[in-house]
């Protein structure tokens, strides 16, 4: 500080910088921003640029910070860096103006500034940077410049300090980073190496790497609680300890040696130790590299895995186990073993003493003796009592002595099974057996007594059994009877089904023969039909050609015996053939022969049904019943078939008649209409030519001729429709009658419009009929109703359905029209029959005839009810059968 006469504002500036800004010294950009703000506040809103002198004299000064710059981007522009290059030469404070003619002045005017005050920042005559004050508007006043000058050394020194601090900090950061990198590399090596690494200090483990942890089975935290001796086989400890002491002392001894280590589970593993001494936390430490020289870590892991499964299995079976290393006298025990002895697993270190405490003195010494006597590979099984707390229990011990050459380790594998429960059970079982024996003894006695009682009972029951058998036989007979009646029903139903299905006559008769043959075993069945007063075999079953010929021959010779007298007086009762036939039967090797005449309803003889055969156990009454039913069925079949044939002939004739009718209709259609047309045509032509010359009367005659021809044309057309109605085949389907009525009413709209009609239409449901024909019916009935209500001011037409006392649905159309006299009811449905004059109600008189014809074809009926001047009701039924 050269000048001590600082004004109040400058003092405030310094105070502010020291109190508020120095704290940012380690954050250079922020620090400089703060200084610039303070400076700006001091000088009064000028543009201030702080720069740092570059170490490289060739390069322009590096811009350190720009504050409140009018256009911040200018710092990056050429005039600005040019100014900096020029200012670099200045050693003292200088002021430039835009109009002073200097190079800097010119650049200032280019940038739009009025003037610039430049203050070099020096420390011990060395430039460390520049402080530039730009002003666009006013010139700097002299007090400002003085203030700047006074503060220059202060600013220089704090900037210098800040810069130095900054470079120190960078150095520290750099070093720290390098150190960190080294440590990371070290860690990577230590973690990734296959070798186990532990560090021992004062006999305790203070560091372990993952490989060491994997090798010995301890977690990192557990490691830190271990002593070095914990991981070394006790037999080897002395050797290891000697090496440790010598190494720490600095003796020149080999780095590596072989020994045995013990993992967490107590398993002993051969290992190579590579030891060296190092500095750790400022003290000497023992660095140990461990390598499993059995080189079977992976195999061991697999083994341990399977052993774990084994242990688990044993645990589930409640089998305890332990391994006893004979030389080192230490135990590796399973959780279950601890529990068997009444301890929490691994709550104590298991030793020979604990084993002693659990066994009786005597048992212990015996056990020891037998173990000592054991050779490698021997197995010993013993049952011994042991103590769990105060309780005495029993266990079975299986011990096996094993030895491994490579490591020279001898150990015992022991499995312990608690058999206390077994022992107790066995005792109980013995007790139970004894009581059982007693019971058997007494029971045997009782049984003997009952046996005697039973023998006498059995004798009685034999009698009962005989009675039962008799009853059973009776029952069996009844069952047979029932079965036979069932067979007869089957025979009937099969025959009738075939008949219904339209099976041929011959086939049905064969069915009857086959069925009867089934019902009567070992039988021959034959149907003989009457033909020209002679009997001829028609169908048979169970007969050979020879037998057939034999029977026919005999029958030919004895026609008169079979049919005594005329056919009408045939005895309808079945009978055994007369004595004369015994010879035939014998010759044909038959023992019986039944016959039954086949008689039609009108007592006409149609043939004979014959049943022959060997003697069976079937009672004769049944055979005759079968024969009787068979004959009746055959008669039914023959009669029905005959009727069918007659019907066919009839229907054929009907078809022919229909064809004739069709031809007639054709001729009516064509031949009758033609002359009518001609009359009409020529009359029309005549009328056209002479109408003007005719008198009123003659014109009337001409019109009457024309009207008559047209009316006759309509009659012929209607007659044609009527004849067609009867010939068209019915195409029946399910029809919604309500929908049909709706469509009819729509079609009749021309007759309806302009009239006052009240319609009552009930739900009508569906019918099974020919759609077109039924529609014709409804058109006729409804249009009739419309026609005959024409004279009514307010017409009422009611369409509905009722059920009659036969359960049939009766559909009706009722009106309040002119009605009719019931005396003429019979004329309503005749062709061309009319109850009204044409000038009253037009029509050809064919409509209701059509209705009747259609309804009749549908298997229904039409009915009419009327009262003169009081409405009419037409109803009809339809065949409800769908097929």
Partner 1 sequence: MAEVPRILLAEDNIDDIELTLLAFKENKLANNITTVRDGEAALDYLYCRGEFAQRPRGNPVLVLLDLKMPKVDGLEVLAAMKKDPKLQSIPVVVLTSSRMESDVVESYNLGVNAYVVKPVDFSEFVNAVKNLGIFWILLNEPPPEVV
CB neighbours of residue 725 within 10 Å: 18
| Residue 270: other Cβ atoms inside 10 A | 20
Could you tell me which stretch among 254-262, 461-469, 619-627, 681-689 binds partner 1 (CB under 8 A)?
A: 681-689
The candidate with the shortest Cα–Cα distance to 785, out of 807, 806, 767, 800, is 800
Decide if residue 770 touches partner 1 (CB under 8 A): no
Q: Does 800 bind partner 1 (CB under 8 A)?
A: no
710 binds partner 1 (CB under 8 A): yes
Residues 651-680 that bind partner 1 (CB under 8 A): 665-666, 669-670, 673-678, 680
One residue of 190, 311, 702, 720 binding partner 1 per CB under 8 A: 720
Helix/strand/coil for 639: helix
Cα-based distances in Å from 266 to 332, 333, 345, 414: 6, 9, 14, 15
- DSSP, res 652: H
Beta-carbon contacts of residue 405 (< 8 Å; ≥ 6 apart):
none
The vertex-593 CA angle with 587 and 594, nearest 5°, equals 160
Residue 713 touches partner 1, criterion: CB under 8 A: yes
Query: Least Å distance between CB 797 and partner 1?
Result: 32
What is the enclosing helix (H) or strand (E) of 231? none
**Phi, psi at 753, each rounded to 5°:** -60, 140
Nearer to partner 1, 587 or 710 (CB): 710
Residue 685 found at the interface with partner 1 (CB under 8 A)? yes
| SS3 readout for 409-436 | EEEEEEEEEECHHHHHHHHHHHHHHHHH
Q: Which is nearer to partner 1, 412 or 716 (CB)?
A: 716
Q: How far is the CB of 731 from partner 1 (least distance, A)?
A: 14
* Interaction pattern, residues 599-628, with partner 1; x per rule: CB under 8 A: ------------------------------
445 binds partner 1 (CB under 8 A): no
- The residue to which tokens 């050429």 are assigned: 78
**Shortest CB 599 distance to partner 1, Å:** 50
Work out how close the CB of 637 gets to partner 1 at its nearest, in angstroms, rounded to a whole number: 41
Q: Which residue, among 807, 811, 787, has the nearest Cα to 798 in the 3D structure?
A: 811
667 versus 880: smaller Cβ distance to partner 1: 667
Q: Please report how close the Cβ of residue 782 comes to partner 1 at its closest, in angstroms.
A: 25
Structure tokens at 584: 């035939």
* Distance in Å, CB of 628 to partner 1, minimum: 55
Q: Which is nearer to partner 1, 168 or 685 (CB)?
A: 685
User: Backbone phi, then psi, for 273, in 5-degree steps?
Assistant: -110, 130
- 311 lies in the site for partner 1, by CB under 8 A: no
Per CB under 8 A, 708 contacts partner 1: no
Options 156, 612, 709, 784; binder of partner 1; rule CB under 8 A: 709
Q: Establish if 81 lies at the interface with partner 1 (CB under 8 A).
A: no
Distance CA 477, CA 471 (A): 10
The residue among 122 and 683 lying less far from partner 1, judged by its C-beta, is 683
Q: How far apart are CA 499 and CA 634, in angstroms?
A: 11
* Shortest distance, position 693 Cβ to partner 1, whole Å: 20
Report the nearest approach of partner 1 to the CB of residue 659 (Å).
12
CB closer to partner 1, 604 vs 687? 687
Smaller CB distance to partner 1: residue 648 or 690? 690
Whole-angstrom Cα distance, residue 247 to residue 255? Answer: 9
The CB-of-677 to partner 1 minimum distance in angstroms stands at 5
Closer of 277 and 672 to partner 1 (Cβ): 672
Told to check if 718 binds partner 1 by CB under 8 A, we report: no
Q: Measured between alpha carbons, how far is residue 576 from residues 529, 552, 594, 788, 807 in Å?
A: 20, 18, 6, 77, 52
User: Looking at 226-234, 473-481, 694-702, 713-721, which segment touches partner 1 (CB under 8 A)?
Assistant: 713-721
The 724-763 contact track toward partner 1, x by CB under 8 A, reads x---------------------------------------
In the bound state with partner 1, the residue whose beta carbon lies nearer, of 309 and 727, is 727
Number of residues near partner 1 (by CB under 8 A): 23
Q: Is 575 in the site for partner 1 (CB under 8 A)?
A: no
Q: Which is nearer to partner 1, 640 or 673 (CB)?
A: 673
Q: Which is nearer to partner 1, 443 or 724 (CB)?
A: 724
Nearer to partner 1 by Cβ, of 552 and 669: the residue is 669
Report if residue 684 touches partner 1, rule: CB under 8 A: yes
The values of phi and psi at residue 540, to 5°, are: -155, 165
What is the rounded CA–CA span in Å between residue 849 and residue 722? 8
d(CA 655, CA 651): 6
The span of 71-79, 535-543, 600-608, 711-719 binding partner 1 (CB under 8 A) equals 711-719
2 binds partner 1 (CB under 8 A): no
- Buried residues in 571-590 as b, exposed as e (16+ CB within 10 A): eeebeebeeebeebeeebeb
Q: How far apart are the first and last CA of the chain?
A: 134
DSSP string, 810-879: EEEEEE-SS---GGGGGGTTSTT--SS-TTTS---S-HHHHHHHHHHHTT--EEEEE-TTS-EEEEE---
Sheet of strand 319-325: strand arrangement = 330-333, 319-325, 409-418, 391-404, 379-388
Q: Map the footprint of partner 1 across residues 244-263, applying CB under 8 A.
A: none
Which one of 42-50, 338-346, 537-545, 717-725 is the stretch in contact with partner 1 (CB under 8 A)? 717-725
Provide, rounded to whole angstroms, the least separation between the CB of residue 881 and partner 1. Answer: 28
Q: Which residues pair with 477 in a beta bridge?
A: none
Q: Does 681 bind partner 1 (CB under 8 A)?
A: yes
Nearer to partner 1, 286 or 722 (CB): 722
**How far apart are alpha carbons 214 and 226 in whole angstroms?**
15
DSSP state of 571: -
210/726 with CB nearer partner 1: 726
Q: Considering the complex, state which of residue 681 and residue 765 has its C-beta at the smaller distance from partner 1.
A: 681
Contacts with partner 1 by CB under 8 A lie at: 665-666, 669-670, 673-678, 680-685, 709-710, 712-713, 717, 720, 724
């Amino acid at each position: 500080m050269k000048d001590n006469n600082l004004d109040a504002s400058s003092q405030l500036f310094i105070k502010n910088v020291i109190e508020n800004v120095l704290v940012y010294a380690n954050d250079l950009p922020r620090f400089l921003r703060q200084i610039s703000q303070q400076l700006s506040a001091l000088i009064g809103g000028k543009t201030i640029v702080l720069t740092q002198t570059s170490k490289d004299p060739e390069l322009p000064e590096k811009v350190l910070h720009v504050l409140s710059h009018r256009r911040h981007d200018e710092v990056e522009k050429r005039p600005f860096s040019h100014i900096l290059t020029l200012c670099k030469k200045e050693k003292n404070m200088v002021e430039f103006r835009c109009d002073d003619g200097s190079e800097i002045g010119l650049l200032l005017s280019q940038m739009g500034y009025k003037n610039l005050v430049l203050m070099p920042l020096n420390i011990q005559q060395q430039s460390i940077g520049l402080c530039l004050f730009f002003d666009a508007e006013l010139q700097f006043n002299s007090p400002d410049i003085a203030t700047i000058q006074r503060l220059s050394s202060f600013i220089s020194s704090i900037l210098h300090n800040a810069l130095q601090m900054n470079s120190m900090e960078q150095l520290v950061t750099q070093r720290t980073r390098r150190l960190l990198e080294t440590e990371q590399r070290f860690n990577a090596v230590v973690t990734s190496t296959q070798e186990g690494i532990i560090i021992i200090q004062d006999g305790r483990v203070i560091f372990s790497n993952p490989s060491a942890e994997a090798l010995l089975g301890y977690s990192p935290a557990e490691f830190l609680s271990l002593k070095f001796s914990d991981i070394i086989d006790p037999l080897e400890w002395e050797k290891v300890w000697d090496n440790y002491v010598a190494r720490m002392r600095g003796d020149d001894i080999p780095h590596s040696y072989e020994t045995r280590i013990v993992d967490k589970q107590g398993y002993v593993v051969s290992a190579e130790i590579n030891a060296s001494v190092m500095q750790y936390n400022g003290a000497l430490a023992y660095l140990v590299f461990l390598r499993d020289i059995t080189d079977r870590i992976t195999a061991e892991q697999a083994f341990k895995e399977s052993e774990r499964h084994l242990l688990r299995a044993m645990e589930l079976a409640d089998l305890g186990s332990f391994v006893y290393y004979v030389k080192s006298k230490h135990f590796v025990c399973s959780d279950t073993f601890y529990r068997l002895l009444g301890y929490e697993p691994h709550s104590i270190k298991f030793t020979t003493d604990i084993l002693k405490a659990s066994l009786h003195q005597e048992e212990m010494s015996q056990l020891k003796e037998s173990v000592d006597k054991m050779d490698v590979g021997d197995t010993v099984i013993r049952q011994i009592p042991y103590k769990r707390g105060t309780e005495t229990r029993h266990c079975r011990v299986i011990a096996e002595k094993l030895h491994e050459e490579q490591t020279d380790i001898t150990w015992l594998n022991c499995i312990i099974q608690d058999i206390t429960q077994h022992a107790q059970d066995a005792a109980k079982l013995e007790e139970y057996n004894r009581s059982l024996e007693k019971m058997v003894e007494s029971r045997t006695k009782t049984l003997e007594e009952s046996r005697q009682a039973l023998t006498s009972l059995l004798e009685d029951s034999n009698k009962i059994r005989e009675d039962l058998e008799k009853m059973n036989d009776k029952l069996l007979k009844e069952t047979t009877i029932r079965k036979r009646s069932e067979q007869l029903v089957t025979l009937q139903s099969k025959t009738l089904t075939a008949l219904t299905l339209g099976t041929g006559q011959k086939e049905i008769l064969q069915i009857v023969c086959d069925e009867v043959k089934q019902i009567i075993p070992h039988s021959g069945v034959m149907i003989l039909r009457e033909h020209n007063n002679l009997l001829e075999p028609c169908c048979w079953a169970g007969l050979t050609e020879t037998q057939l010929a034999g029977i026919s021959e005999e029958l030919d010779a004895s026609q008169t015996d079979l049919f005594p007298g005329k056919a009408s007086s045939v005895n309808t009762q079945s009978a055994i053939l007369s004595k004369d036939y015994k010879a035939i039967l014998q010759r044909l090797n038959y023992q019986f022969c039944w016959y039954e005449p086949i008689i039609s309803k009108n007592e006409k003889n149609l043939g004979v049904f014959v049943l022959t055969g060997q003697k069976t156990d079937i009672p004769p009454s049944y055979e005759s019943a079968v024969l009787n039913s068979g004959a009746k069925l055959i008669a039914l079949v023959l009669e029905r078939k005959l009727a069918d044939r007659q019907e066919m002939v009839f229907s054929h004739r009907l078809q022919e008649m229909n064809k004739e009718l069709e031809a007639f209709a054709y001729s009516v259609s064509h031949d009758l209409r033609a002359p009518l047309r001609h009359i009409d045509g020529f009359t029309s032509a005549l009328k056209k030519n002479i109408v003007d010359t005719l008198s009123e009367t003659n014109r009337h005659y001409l019109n009457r001729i024309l009207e008559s021809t047209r009316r006759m044309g309509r009659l012929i057309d209607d007659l044609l429709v009527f004849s067609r109605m009867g010939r068209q085949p019915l195409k029946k389907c399910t029809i919604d009658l309500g929908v049909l009525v709706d469509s009819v009413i729509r079609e009749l709209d021309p007759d309806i419009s302009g009239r006052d009609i009240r319609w009552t239409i009930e739900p009508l449901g569906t019918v099974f009929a020919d759609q077109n024909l039924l529609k014709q019916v409804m058109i006729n009935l409804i249009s009739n109703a419309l026609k005959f209500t024409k004279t009514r001011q307010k017409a009422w037409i009611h369409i509905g359905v009722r059920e009659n006392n036969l359960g049939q649905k009766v559909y009706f159309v009722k009106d309040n029209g002119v009605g009719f006299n019931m005396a003429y009811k019979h004329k309503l449905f005749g062709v061309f029959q009319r109850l009204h004059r044409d000038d009253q109600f037009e029509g050809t008189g064919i409509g209701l005839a059509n209705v009747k014809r259609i309804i009749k074809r549908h298997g229904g009926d039409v009915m009419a009810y009327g009262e003169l001047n009081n409405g009419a009701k037409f109803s009809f039924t339809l065949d409800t059968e769908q097929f």
